[in-house]
Structure 1
Amino acid sequence: MSSDRICVGAIAGAFGVRGEVRLKSFCSDPRDIAAYGPLTTEDGRRSFAVTLTRPVTGGLGARLSGVATREDAEALKGTTLWAPRDALPSLPDDEFYHADLIGLEVFDTGGASLGRVRAIFDHGAGDILEVIGTEQILLPFTRAVVPTVDLAAGRIVADPPDSDE
Structure 2
Amino acid sequence: MAEESSIAEGHFVLVGTVTRPHGIKGELKVRPYSDQPDTFCRYTKLYLSQEERGEKRLCTARQARVSGTQVILRLEECQDRNRAEQLAGSQIWVTSDKLPPLEADEFYLHTLIGKDIRTVDGQDLGRAARLLSTSGQDLLVIRQAKKEYLIPIVKPFIRSIDEQAVVLDLPEGLLEING
Q: Which band: TM-score by shorter chain?
A: 0.7 to 0.9
Letter of the 1:64 counterpart? L
Q: Kindly, what percent of the aligned residue pairs are identical?
A: 27
1:66 is matched with 77
- Structure 1 residues 127 and 16: alpha-carbon distance in aligned structure 2, compared to 1, 3 A threshold: closer
Letter in 2 for 1:136: E
**Correspondent of 1:41 among 32, 48, 51:** 48
| Farther-moved stretch of structure 1 (98-107 vs 71-80) | 98-107
Instruction: Check whether the contact 2:38–2:66 (CA below 8 A) recurs between aligned residues.
Output: no
Structure 2: gaps of 5 or more residues:
1-7
Judged with a 3 Å threshold, the aligned counterparts in structure 2 of structure 1 residues 45 and 138 are, in CA distance, closer, same or farther, namely: closer
The structure 2 residue matched to 1:79, chosen from 90, 99, 102, is 90
- Please tell me the residue identity of whatever aligns with 1:161: P
Q: Does the CA-based 8 Å contact 2:37-2:66 persist in structure 1?
A: no
Q: Identify the residue that residue 3 of structure 2 maps to in structure 1.
A: none
Q: Distance in 1 between matches of 2:99 and 2:44?
A: 10
| Contact 2:40/2:71, CA 8 A, preserved across alignment | no
Q: 1:18 and 2:25 equivalent? A: yes
- Structure 2 CA distance for aligned equivalents of residues 143 and 62 of structure 1: 30
In the alignment, which residue of structure 1 is the partner of 2:142? 131
> What is the CA-CA distance between 1:56 and the residue it aligns to?
4.6
- Equivalent-residue separation in structure 1 for 2:75 and 2:98 (angstroms): 18
Structure 1 contact 139–145 (Cα < 8 Å) conserved: no
Q: How does 1:81-96 map to 2 (within 5 A)?
A: 81-96=92-107
CA RMSD between the two structures: 2.7
Mark the runs of 5 or more structure 1 residues left unpaired by the alignment: none
1:10–1:79 contact (8 Å) kept in structure 2: yes
Q: Which amino acid aligns with 1:85?
A: S
Give the whole-Å Cα distance in 1 for the aligned partners of 2:78 and 2:155. Answer: 43
Structure with the higher fraction of residues in helix conformation: 2
Aligned partner of 1:162 in structure 2 is 172
SS in 1 for 2:101: coil
CA distance in 2, matches of 1:3, 1:93: 23
d(CA) in 1 for partners of 2:156, 2:56: 42
Question: For the structure 1 residues 36 and 44, does the alpha-carbon distance in structure 2 shift closer, same or farther, using more than 3 Å as the test?
Answer: farther
Matched residue of 1:40: which SS? strand
The 8 Å contact of residues 37 and 83 in structure 1, kept in 2 or not, is answered as: no
- More deviation, 126-135/6-15: 126-135
